[in-house]
Amino acid sequence: MTAFAEMCNQVSGQDDPLSARRSHFSAKADRVIFIYATGGVSHVDTFDYKPSLIKDHGKSILASRWLNKSGEFERFLIKPHWGFQQYGENGIWVSDLFPHLSDVIDDVCVLNAMHCDSDGHDKGTLAAHTGSAQFARPSVGSWVSYGLGTVNQNLPSFMVLAPHAPYAGAQTWGSDFLPGCHQGTHVVPGADPIKNIQPRVASKRLQTMELGLLRTLNETKQSERLNDAAVNARIRSFETAFGMQSAAPEAFDITQEDQRTLEMYGITAGDRSGFGWQCLMARRLVERGVRFVELIDVGSNSNWDSHGNMADHERLAKNVDKPMAGLISDLKRRGMLERTLVVWTTEFGRTPFNMSPTHAGREHHNFCFTSWMAGGGVKGGLSYGVSDEYGIMATEDSAHTHDLHATILHQLGLDHERLTFRHAGRDFRLTDVHGNVLHDVLQ
């Protein structure tokens, strides 16, 4: 057991790995909504405004990397496919792809000089979630669950709302070597979001009787023992599950929301899926104490991976723009934004250049991309980090995925260097041996 886990047990006095735990230091945020845009979002078409790229459109440059190969490649600059305007008090640049998000930009901190190590989808997705592009490691949500536990024992601590599996499948939200209760519970938007949540017996009374006999038999057995954590936990898990049968449907009950709220998220009548639904459910879940909610917008196909035609970004942006803006506004009007960290990221950006000046698509680009954060003690209306004149390399105040992870943990009061787990002979961290908290973006 790590020193940290030991301390937590001393604090909570329990062995339950999901019980709420004290953070390392005082936290700015209590929960995270992590939005993942699958496929690789073009930074120069969304948040990273590059006038030189427009001016020098069609000019050739020498790229140092192309399709995962190093070398010198003559390529042609391609201007953004959408116009940009400045929004909010600080004039943050946002492209026409996000008309709604630009309305709440004063709450958003745009990170324009993100970079990561991998330009493949599988590895990029794993790295964005686990810090490791190559090996199976616990997801950021699992680390947070491990570090802080959860305050609502009737719901899982880490939930993932995704219509389809992303690249790397369930490894994306896997707990790997962390105890399995920290793995993300995958919820597929639709009528049956949590498996086996519906009782199969005719009445609640009947189920209560069944669980009553179960408890009686278990307690008879238990009376022979003073202390058996696993047996105790199993007994308790039935009680939590019983609670979940009503807590989860209640949490997912959209009928409790008024028309105005649904409107904010762009949810139409009778909608039980879609990204608006995901965003609204994220608010409802964090409201009910779920520690970490991840939203994945698409899946491993028909996503932001616009190799052939960037025009597809329009459809994908439209899918998420209003829901995300609605989420931020809704959290804010309920006074929840302050303590809820919203993070938006993707596996990598897309090349500001291509094989010909008229090429309609863009390729994978991991040297520079954009992520953003909102709420949770992060400065709003800030554009942090600068890329070079064409958006090819992250130049000033660059931030690696590890830094983003370190910052997320930091806002939750967790020191990324101290949140460790002993596995296979060494202490593992989310940030491996890297990561710096982005103090400049914090309030």
Give the DSSP per-residue string, 361-395: ---EE-SSEEEEEEETTBPSSEEE-EE-TTSSSEE
Q: Which stretch binds other proteins (CB under 8 A): 2-10, 95-103, 334-342, 354-362?
A: 2-10
Q: Which of 51, 85, 190, 214 binds other proteins (CB under 8 A)?
A: 214
CA distances from 229 to 232, 233, 235 (A): 5, 6, 10
How far, in Å, CA of 386 to CA of 77, rounded?
A: 18
How far, in Å, CA of 63 to CA of 170, rounded?
A: 35
Residues 235-294 that bind other proteins (CB under 8 A): 235-238, 240-245
Q: DSSP state, 52?
A: H
Q: Which of 221, 315, 333, 334 binds other proteins (CB under 8 A)?
A: 221
Count of residues in contact with other proteins, rule CB under 8 A: 83
How far, in Å, CA of 248 to CA of 154, rounded?
A: 8
Residues 10-69 that bind other proteins (CB under 8 A): 10-11, 24-25
Which CB, 222 or 273, lies closer to other proteins?
222
Which CB, 200 or 260, lies closer to other proteins?
200
What is the number of residues in the chain? 443
Q: Which of 60, 64, 86, 134 binds other proteins (CB under 8 A)?
A: 134
Binding mask 404-423 for other proteins (x = CB under 8 A): -----------x-xx-----
Q: Which of 130, 300, 345, 411 binds other proteins (CB under 8 A)?
A: 300
Q: Which stretch binds other proteins (CB under 8 A): 58-66, 75-83, 84-92, 219-227?
A: 219-227
Cβ-defined contacts of 208-212 (< 8 Å, 24+): 211/238, 211/239, 211/242
Position 433 contacts other proteins (CB under 8 A): no
Q: Which of 52, 54, 106, 179 binds other proteins (CB under 8 A)?
A: 179
The two three-digit tokens of residue 390, written as one number: 């064409």
Nearest in space to 338 (alpha carbons), one of 106, 62, 28: 28
Which CB, 257 or 432, lies closer to other proteins?
432
Q: What residues does 396 pair with on adjacent strands?
A: 386
Which CB, 265 or 367, lies closer to other proteins?
367
Q: Which of 55, 57, 59, 195 binds other proteins (CB under 8 A)?
A: 195
Which CB, 203 or 255, lies closer to other proteins?
203
Position 386 contacts other proteins (CB under 8 A): no
Position 124 contacts other proteins (CB under 8 A): no
Q: Which of 35, 168, 320, 342 binds other proteins (CB under 8 A)?
A: 168
Q: What angle do CA 263, 266, 270 make, to 5 degrees?
A: 85
Burial level of 72, CB count in 10 A (0-12/13-18/19+)? exposed
Binding mask 65-104 for other proteins (x = CB under 8 A): -----x----------------------------------
**146 contacts: CB under 8 Å, gap ≥ 6:** 17, 138, 175, 178, 179, 182, 419, 421
